[in-house]
Structure formats: structure tokens, C-alpha cells
Amino acid sequence: MNFIRVCHKDELPDNSQKIVNIGKKKVALFHFNGKISAIANACLHKAGPLGLGEVAAKYDGMYVTCPWHGWEYNIETGSAPPGFPDQQALYEVKIESEFISVSEEPIVKAHREHHNNSLLEDLLKLKYQTSEKSLNILGISTTNLSSQLPRFSTSEDALEKSLSYAVEKYGATTKMVKLRDLEFKNCEGYYSQHSHACTWPCSITEMNPEDGMTEVYESMILWADIVIVSTPIRWGNASALYYKMAERLNCVQNQITINNKVLVKNKVASFIITGGQDNIQQVAGQMMCFFTDLGFTFPPFSFLGWSRGWTSEDMDKNVMQFKKSEYIKRTANEIVDNAVEVLKQIKKIDNGNIHAIKPKRSDSLSFDIENKDMNI
Ligand code: FES
């Protein structure tokens, strides 16, 4: 077995770790409890840099935790925690004349166990449920109401009106997703580690397919032709639940960034924004900007807005006036008309001619600077 000299032993004092190159491969070196060991640097999950992970005593030894999504490996054996059959490549280490050398080939090969993700198969294979003729309209209500205390929501009421009209007038198939009924985790910002750490479907969904966002991904990306999102205005912004969902949709936009793959094609979005006071246009602008980045198309006049002005602190009259409003009744229908009209047109668009003009990794001004610790 050939050994490659990688560094002086003073460069790896006790309680430290380091990433080194063995030819084209990167190896994570560890020096803990007086022992030096080496395992492949690229995590078996998505190639996160194990040499940057935290090392701690747990289970039956010393383990490194991948900084991307938390997979763990025993630093002396390369094995996953007890009960998991995954095995990271393990290298032999020698110290000769004060220098650390690592075997050119692993002495234990890597093995990645097949992880069953049949629940996510449709998402992984992008099995779209739309067709040339389909008219699937998804309503997403982002208001946060307690199921213990049902009460009237202006945004959700307008959304219900729009969906009922779509069924009556166009024979559409409709679905309502109420975010408050889905239990889903907050985005944990894996993207901030590396763009490839933000995966499709989201890494959180991959770890727990029963996370509520699975429903949103399936309905929005695979099923819907038209998506109508309703939100109340909370302190001049869309609802907290809206943002919680939007953050978890980073994995949709990120497919453009890392794979040049647009998941949302030939889909229309419109919005319902209601508040007691104002800021409708700013909320609409933010929502449009985000949804256009996902690939959605908007009709002209694509949102219904409701507010009563800056001094309208007499909120007890808000619902009363909303219920009487002819404007709401008319507009809840008209945003559907506009969306259906535009959908008919965009179904004919050849998406091959539409460019996703989002920055790719390769557009970065620092793209040619190597990050020596990364595996991809
Ligand atoms: S846990 Fe290592 S890359 Fe995901």
C-alpha cells in the first residue's frame, strides 16, 4: 500500500482536525484522545465536508457530525452510529519522521445504504399531474387561526369565494391548503453552508417525509395549474406562516441555481391580501417578486387587496364592511377569470424558449477561487 505524506505532525495537535488532499481525493484527518485517524471528507449524503464537522464523544466512540445536515461518523472506524449500516471510507495513517502519511487507498471502503424514500418518489421524479387540458386551482391560505377558536378570516373567505367561483364557472378542480393545519419545520438555512446543501425536495422533507411541506410541494409543484395565495397583512407584511412557507420553497428556486432546472413551468399565480390598515402594494410586490423567481406567471391585475386606511382603528367594523363589500365579491371572481385566461395562453408556450435568468454558481465573481475544504 502506498502512503502519501500530508503534513507535519505539529500541524495537527491533539483536539484538532484538518482536511488534506490525497491526489484528487480529500481526506478528513482527526487527532483526538492521542489518536490520529482519517476518513473520506465527502459525506455520503450530499458530500458535505466532514473535516469541518464538530467532533464529540457519543454512542460508542468519537463521532464527527456533518456540518450540512447532521449525519454522523465514527472518526476511528468511519462507521455510522450503531444501528445504521452506512460506512465512510477509512484510511490508514502512519507517522514517520514527524510527518503524517495517509494510505493512498482506503483500507475500508465506503458503503451507502439504500435509504427508502418511496414517500417522496413523485417529488424526486417530478411526476407532474397537470396536462394540456387540466385546470387545477390550488388555494393556499396563510392566515394563522387557532382551530380551538374558529373565527372569520377576510383573506381566507375571499380565497374560498375564488375557489367556489372557479368550480362553478370553469368546472375547475380545486384544492385548499391551510398552512396552519400542516405541521412543518422552519427552514434551517442549509443553503448558507453551500448551495448544494439545499436539496430538492428540501433536506428537512428528506429527513422526515411527513413534514407538512410535502403537501405544499406536491400540490404547488406537481398538481396545480394556478396557485392563489391568500394572506392577511401583519405589521405591513404578509403573514409569518407565508414567510415560513416561502423560506422552505428555497429548494425550488435553488434547482435553477445549481442544476439549471426550472420546476415551475406554465403555472399562474395570483394573490389575495387583506388587512385592516394598508401596505397592500408592498406586500403584493414582495410576493410577486418571490413567485416570479420560482417561475410563476402573473395575469395583469393579479391581486385582490382589501384595507380600510391608516386611521381605521375601529377594527370591529372591518369584517362587517368586508362582508358587505361588492368589490370583494366581484374581484374574488375576477382574479380567477384573469388567471384562467392567462393560463390558457401560457399552456401554449414552449418553455424551451424561456430562460431562467437567475444567477448560477458559475456567475459568481469568486467562482474561480477554490474553496479547498469543499468536495464539490
Ligand atoms: S449530512 Fe452530510 S451532506 Fe447531508
Quick check: CB of 68 below 6 Å from ligand 1? yes
Quick check: CB of 70 below 6 Å from ligand 1? yes
Ligand 1 pocket test: which of 26, 39, 41, 46 has the largest number of ligand atoms within 8 Å of its C-beta?
A: 46
131 CA from centroid of ligand 1 (Å)? 36
Ligand 1 pocket test: which of 50, 64, 66 has the largest number of ligand atoms within 8 Å of its C-beta?
A: 66
Statement: residue 359 has pLDDT above 90: no
Statement: residue 132 has pLDDT above 90: yes
Arithmetic mean of pLDDT, 149-159: 95
57 CA from centroid of ligand 1 (Å)? 19
pLDDT value of position 53: 98
Q: Which residues contact 374 (CB under 8 A, 6 or more apart)?
A: 49, 194
72 CA from centroid of ligand 1 (Å)? 9
Arithmetic mean of pLDDT, 210-228: 98
How remote is the C-alpha of 368 from its chain's centroid? Answer: 26
Consecutive H or E run containing 29: strand 25-32
Statement: residue 115 has pLDDT above 90: no
For domain 3-103, the CATH superfamily is Rieske [2Fe-2S] iron-sulphur domain (2.102.10.10)
Statement: residue 150 has pLDDT above 90: no
Q: Give tens-digit pLDDT for 280-331.
A: 999 999 999 999 999 999 999 999 999 998 899 899 999 999 999 999 999 9
Quick check: CB of 48 below 6 Å from ligand 1? yes
Q: Measuring CA to CA, which residue among 352, 134, 124 is closest to residue 225? A: 134
Quick check: CB of 207 below 6 Å from ligand 1? no
Q: Measuring CA to CA, which residue among 133, 77, 66 is closest to residue 110? A: 77
pLDDT value of position 112: 96
Whole-number CA gyration radius for the chain: 26
* pTM score, whole prediction: 0.93
What is the rounded CA–CA span in Å between residue 174 and residue 136? 6
Q: Give tens-digit pLDDT for 85-99.
A: 999 999 999 999 999
Quick check: CB of 26 below 6 Å from ligand 1? no
| CATH assignment of 118-361, among 3.40.50.150, 3.40.50.2300, 3.40.50.360, 1.10.340.30 | 3.40.50.360
Please compute, for residue 320, the number of CA atoms within 13 A of its CA located in the half-sphere on the CB side.
Answer: 4
Task: Sketch the domain layout of the chain as residue ranges.
Answer: 3-103, 118-361
134 CA from centroid of ligand 1 (Å)? 38
Consecutive H or E run containing 207: helix 203-207
